[in-house]
Structure 1
């Protein structure tokens, strides 16, 4: 619920009371995390926590490129098909057990095993036999990963793939302790049971309140901050109030309606930066009205005034999106539909023609629902888009708001959706991180889109050693998305956080990754160790 105006005004006018006596970093983290199982993580809020709890062979550097993490170095064979990773000396789990290369083998095998239900298993398809394992044609122990000794991990690929080191920074490639592997898939990722290898370990999890982490004293370089609390903050106005009251050190975002006031009153705390993420509407192509109706899908996309959305709803905190891959993505050749350069009046005229061609009109208006998870910005965007569809085409739209976990469940089932709010944040700085989720077999393809040409373009890109040929294949794949419209891109994200003055070491990041181990608190009384 939005805060009353007088309460918000009072909070904004009072000086901040940054807490100075604690050793706790308090981070606003958006919706309740769906799981802390690294191989089953799905949402951004869960990913933020899991990157503090675990560490992969690589991590993501300040520029979005992979950097050494649990692996101190790696090399690739002359044919590009075999990678060898050398682990750091004396790596340990949070319970003190030695961490060895076999733990990474165990984690990678679990990610691709169909029984795990990983939504990101397809990210690992470059590894030999991964696709066949995911499809149930081979057992998980045939995956092309081997540990010839405790500190060496070898990975064999189906074809040369220079993005492998970047992929291995994702939670789907995190290691797994043998004791957790023996537990059920739902039981081990809980306080007192989860054994992790990152800078923090799991201390507490209060549903719809917070997840508490404490410093892992067995980590190779113990974090400066002793405790981190990830706080559930679905109400962005309440999150702002808590930040101004000194109850949060970092916010997940800011209320767009307050953007100008925040810029004016908290200029030193507001951090806005480019961010590789796209906000879009997914269309359920497995059932009417969108199955077999590309003209209808294109018409709905054409009449959305993205510039108006960004300026009036987001107050400039975003960029209009006509392509699916953000323009600043490394190695990306931006693609946009031809109609994106037309005047809006011409777009509306063509959209009405397509709408009639699809069998709809004033006497038979399209009746459709937009489903979104609880969040004021999602509600406002849905309201504005519905109004645009109504005014230009006569579409009758019903808005359906759901709690995040319920919303994700319905999206995956598809039977219960027509148009659904979605977003994708890059897992690595490459167009494949975006386009890959639309592959017909990808676990995040919630539209149910199946397109042989698109899949073929991705296959060419995956097998291409030549950078130019790979870029051409990815561009062709994106053009196919824009032609068939399984999704409607709306805007490209910028990251927008409030960061308290006592937080030191914050760096803007293209993937919006912020490892708590890299931060310090100015009023900290405790040192490392």
Structure 2
């Protein structure tokens, strides 16, 4: 947050090239965290000398495999192989060009024309056509990410866990995955997606029920709480601009209508949407998503802790906090720690602190000219 004094941070520069961090407890994912962009080192002398120009091509000091050669806004970014990189002998590419393209159809055309070799922004509605056209060049697989709805747990009527569970139960995730997202997503019933070694995600207890049975059970709960066709439950879904997000909300609107839930929708651009959530603005239900910063359940469960800035639902549960604290203290015992995290997720799911809907999958177009592409759940391709 920038509020703590440097001497209180348990970090220090041992010498000009060594940075030391003292941890509160053994943290299995710490080394992987260091690959996140928030931990990249910056050159203090360069910033002090150049001011805001330190990030420009020719000025930027970095320690990766490539250095910035050109940056033309809205046109391209060019990076070239760094001669001073410690593993330069193993870097096979001399130049990489990035082309920002807002129109996804244009990006597809450029790929087809051979102008670009890799594209990771695929129009979901074109999946079948793209598979037929590009065959094995279209790569699809599981990705550590969860598409979910935050639900305002600290205001009526959403402070009622039975009500939250009824709404979650009634949503047909199979339909969302197959029809809305054209099988480019998987139905999701837990906050932690599958794919983390040694961890078993805590699924919603209705996950194995048929959709018809779920809807019947949800209707009974709503009737018990006084809601139905003659007294509909009002619910607003906020989402950020995207045809896929809109279509998801529309599908859920139609699914909940027969249960006596009157759903309205509010669309804003991404900056406004997340700004509203981060500033603790009022809402009922809001679209959100989380991609793993590191391959560990804590990345997904930490966002629902009381103090987390990403806890849009304002979920506040003492048992959950205690379970997460226990897991943190068990850092040196991997199996015990995973069991503690599983227990924490069980609380989160049973209390419906969030409504998981779908698990992400990666969708990449990779030219047959590209060698060394290796699919992985983090969708990272160095």
| TM-score, L = length of structure 1 | 0.65
User: Quick one: which of 290, 302, 314 aligns to 1:424?
Assistant: 290
> Structure 1: where are the runs of 5+ without partners?
1-113, 116-135, 516-529
Instruction: List per-residue Cα deviations over 1:432-466 (Å, max 9, x = no partner).
Output: 12111211112322222222211111111111022
Q: What corresponds to 2:42 in structure 1?
A: 176
Question: CA 1:372/1:203 → structure 2, altered by over 3 Å: closer, same or farther?
Answer: farther
- Distance, in Å, in 1 between the alignment partners of 2:6 and 2:152 is 31
In structure 2, the residue corresponding to 1:339 is in which secondary structure?
A: coil
- Distance, in Å, in 2 between the alignment partners of 1:387 and 1:185 is 53
1:391 aligns to 2:245 (yes or no): no
What are the equivalent positions in structure 2 for 1:287-436 lying under 5 Å apart? 287=155, 289-290=157-158, 292-402=159-269, 404-415=270-281, 417-436=283-302
Question: CA 1:505/1:358 → structure 2, altered by over 3 Å: closer, same or farther?
Answer: same
1:266 aligns to 2:134 (yes or no): yes
Instruction: List per-residue Cα deviations over 1:87-130 (Å, max 9, x = no partner).
Output: xxxxxxxxxxxxxxxxxxxxxxxxxxx23xxxxxxxxxxxxxxx
Question: CA 1:157/1:181 → structure 2, altered by over 3 Å: closer, same or farther?
Answer: farther
User: Quick one: which of 9, 12, 31 aligns to 1:146?
Assistant: 12
| TM-score, L = length of structure 2 | 0.88
Q: What corresponds to 2:107 in structure 1?
A: 239
Q: What corresponds to 1:44 in structure 2?
A: none
> Structure 2: where are the runs of 5+ without partners?
none
- Distance, in Å, in 2 between the alignment partners of 1:208 and 1:296 is 46
In structure 1, the residue corresponding to 2:31 is in which secondary structure?
A: helix
Instruction: List per-residue Cα deviations over 1:361-411 (Å, max 9, x = no partner).
Output: 323323333232333322222221221122333322224142x33332222
1:467 aligns to 2:345 (yes or no): no
8 Å Cα contact 2:117/2:366 also seen in 1: yes
Question: CA 1:233/1:179 → structure 2, altered by over 3 Å: closer, same or farther?
Answer: same
User: Quick one: which of 64, 84, 91 aligns to 1:198?
Assistant: 64
Q: What corresponds to 2:118 in structure 1?
A: 250
Question: CA 1:436/1:303 → structure 2, altered by over 3 Å: closer, same or farther?
Answer: same
Instruction: List per-residue Cα deviations over 1:229-275 (Å, max 9, x = no partner).
Output: 43334543333233223333211232233222222221131111221
- Distance, in Å, in 2 between the alignment partners of 1:473 and 1:183 is 49
Q: What corresponds to 1:449 in structure 2?
A: 315
In structure 1, the residue corresponding to 2:116 is in which secondary structure?
A: coil
Q: What corresponds to 2:360 in structure 1?
A: 493
- Distance, in Å, in 1 between the alignment partners of 2:60 and 2:154 is 38
RMSD: 2.8
**Matched positions, count:** 379
User: More relative contact order in 1 or in 2 (CA 8 Å, sep 6+)?
Assistant: 2
- Distance, in Å, in 2 between the alignment partners of 1:318 and 1:198 is 33
Instruction: List per-residue Cα deviations over 1:329-373 (Å, max 9, x = no partner).
Output: 122122112222222222112212333455533233233332323
Instruction: List per-residue Cα deviations over 1:290-309 (Å, max 9, x = no partner).
Output: 3x232222121111111111
8 Å Cα contact 2:144/2:292 also seen in 1: yes
Give how far 1:316 is off: 2.0
Shift >6 Å, 4+ stretches: 183-187
Question: CA 1:233/1:145 → structure 2, altered by over 3 Å: closer, same or farther?
Answer: same
- Distance, in Å, in 2 between the alignment partners of 1:433 and 1:208 is 32
Q: What corresponds to 1:440 in structure 2?
A: 306
In structure 1, the residue corresponding to 2:177 is in which secondary structure?
A: helix
